Copies of this chain bind each other. A is one copy, B any other.
Amino acid sequence: PDAAAGEAARLRQQRLTKPPGSLGRLETLAVRLAALQGRARPRLDRVRIVVFAADHGVAEEGVSAFPQAVTVEMIRNFARGGAAISVLARTLGASLEVVDVGAAADPGPLPGVVAARQGAGTANFTRAPAMTPGQLAGALGAGREAVARAREAGCDLFVAGEMGIANTTVAAALTAALLDLAPDAVAGRGTGVDDAGLARKVDAIRRALALHRAAAGDPMEALRRLGGFEIAAIAGAYIACAQAGIPAVVDGFIAGAAALAAVRVRPEVRPWLLFGHRSAEGGHARLLAALGAEPVLDLGMRLGEGTGAAASVAVLRLACALHDGMATFEEAGVSGGPA
C-alpha cells in the first residue's frame, strides 16, 4: 500500500462538501483503495472476476444437498452466462473467467473456461490428504496464473469466486484446523443440507481433523490435507494479488477460508484484501473475526461463486465516484469546510 496516496485521499475527503465522516464507509473504502492502487483518486473500471471450480472427495460422505454432477453443470452455466455470477459480471461490466481446477467430470473445451485441472476432484480427506504436494502446487499456480492474466488485461480490482459441491465442508474443516475450533462451530447448512446431512458434515470434519491433526500448525500443509483445488487456487490468487499490488475483494465463507490460509502463509497479503459481504453461513463470522475484517454488505447471501464480493463492487464504485466527483468546500463556495 502507498501511504502517501492514502493520505492524499484522506485529506481530499476532509475537503469535500459534506460533514467529515458523514459518508461513513464510503469514505474509508475510497481512502483504502487509494492507498492500495497508489493513486489519490482510485478507479474500479477494470474489474476481473475469476470463478475457480473443483470437486471434493469428501462429497461421498453425503455432506451436500446437491449431487456432484452440479459442479460441471454449473461450469457450463457460467460459460453460457446463466449463473448468478455471470449476470453480476455482465451487469457490472466486469470480465469473467472460469478456471476448472479439477471438477469430477471434465467439461471439455468451453468458451471462457480455462482448464487447469489437478485431478478429477480431490481425495476424500476423511481417509487421506485431499491433495498431493504436486496437486497443491498446481492449484496454487492456477490462481497465480489467473492473476497474471488479469494483470496483463489490466485490472483495478480482483474478485475470486468458487464452485464446488461439498466445499463448505472443506472450508469448515480448514477453518477449524487453522483457528483451532470445534467442527460444529464452523459447519453450517451450506447450500441447504438437512439435519441428517449437517450431522454427517460435522462428523466428516471431526474425522478429518483427527486424521490430519499434526498438520494444523502448518498452514500450507493444512491447505494440502484439508483444502480443495479451488480453495488453494484462490489462496494462490490472493498471494499473487498482493505481490502484483492489485486489491482483491474476498467473497464469503469458502473464499474467506482461502484468505485465512493465504494470510497465515504470507501475513503481508492481509492489507490487499477487502471483504465483500457477511455470509449467512455461520462459520463465516469466525473467519471475519480472525481476519479482523468488516465486510461491506450484509444481505444474508450464501451462494458463493463470488456473488457477494461482486455485489459489493457496486458499492465500492459509488465510493470511488463520490471521492472523485464531489466538489470541495472551496470549489462550491460552501461554508464550514476544514479550518
A residues sitting closer than 8 Å to B (CB atoms) are: 16-26, 65-67, 69-70, 73-74, 76-77, 80-84, 86-88, 90-91, 191-192, 280, 296-303, 307, 311, 314-315, 317-318, 321-322, 325-327, 331-336
Q: A192-B21, A335-B66 are in contact. Are A87 and B326 (CB under 8 A)?
A: yes
User: Once the chains bind, are A77 and B299 in contact (CB under 8 Å)?
Assistant: no
User: Once the chains bind, are A91 and B317 in contact (CB under 8 Å)?
Assistant: yes
Provide the bound-state CA to CA distance between A77 and B333, in Å: 8
User: Once the chains bind, are A314 and B318 in contact (CB under 8 Å)?
Assistant: yes
Q: Which residues of B contact A191 (CB under 8 A)?
A: 19, 22
Closest CB pairs A-B (n = 5): A82-B327, A24-B300, A19-B191, A87-B325, A314-B314
Known: A23-B84, A83-B332. 17 other contacts (CB 8 A): A17-B83, A19-B303, A23-B307, A24-B300, A25-B299, A25-B301, A26-B301, A26-B311, A69-B335, A76-B333, A77-B332, A82-B332, A84-B326, A88-B322, A91-B317, A311-B318, A314-B317
Provide the bound-state CA to CA distance between A322 and B45, in Å: 21
Provide the bound-state CA to CA distance between A39 and B276, in Å: 30
Q: Look across to chain B and name the residue whose beta carbon is closest to the beta carbon of A304.
A: B22
Q: Look across to chain B and name the residue whose beta carbon is closest to the beta carbon of A24.
A: B300
Q: Which residues of B contact A67 (CB under 8 A)?
A: 335-336
Q: A87-B325, A315-B297, A318-B314 are in contact. Are A80 and B21 (CB under 8 A)?
A: no
Q: Which residues of B contact A81 (CB under 8 A)?
A: 325, 327
User: Once the chains bind, are B326 and A315 in contact (CB under 8 Å)?
Assistant: no
| Of the residues B19, B70, B73, B87, contact of A192 by C-beta under 8 Å | B19
Q: Which residues of B contact A84 (CB under 8 A)?
A: 16-18, 23, 322, 326
Q: Which residues of B contact A90 (CB under 8 A)?
A: 321, 325
Q: Which residues of B contact A82 (CB under 8 A)?
A: 17, 326-327, 331-332
A333 to B: closest C-beta gap in Å? 6
A122 to B: closest C-beta gap in Å? 21
Q: Which of A280, A296, A336 has the most CB of B within 10 A?
A: A336
| Of the residues B73, B299, B332, contact of A335 by C-beta under 8 Å | B73
Q: A17-B83, A87-B322, A327-B83 are in contact. Are A22 and B302 (CB under 8 A)?
A: yes
Q: A18-B84, A65-B19 are in contact. Are A70 and B334 (CB under 8 A)?
A: yes
Q: Which of A18, A77, A300, A321 has the most CB of B within 10 A?
A: A18
User: Once the chains bind, are B70 and A336 in contact (CB under 8 Å)?
Assistant: yes
Provide the bound-state CA to CA distance between A86 and B73, in Å: 44
Q: Look across to chain B and name the residue whose beta carbon is closest to the beta carbon of A92.
A: B318
Provide the bound-state CA to CA distance between A331 and B315, in Å: 31
Provide the bound-state CA to CA distance between A20 and B192, in Å: 8
Q: Which of A22, A74, A83, A192 has the most CB of B within 10 A?
A: A22
User: Once the chains bind, are B301 and A24 in contact (CB under 8 Å)?
Assistant: yes
Q: Which residues of B contact A83 (CB under 8 A)?
A: 17-18, 326-327, 332
A315 to B: closest C-beta gap in Å? 6
Q: Which residues of B contact A327 (CB under 8 A)?
A: 77, 80-83
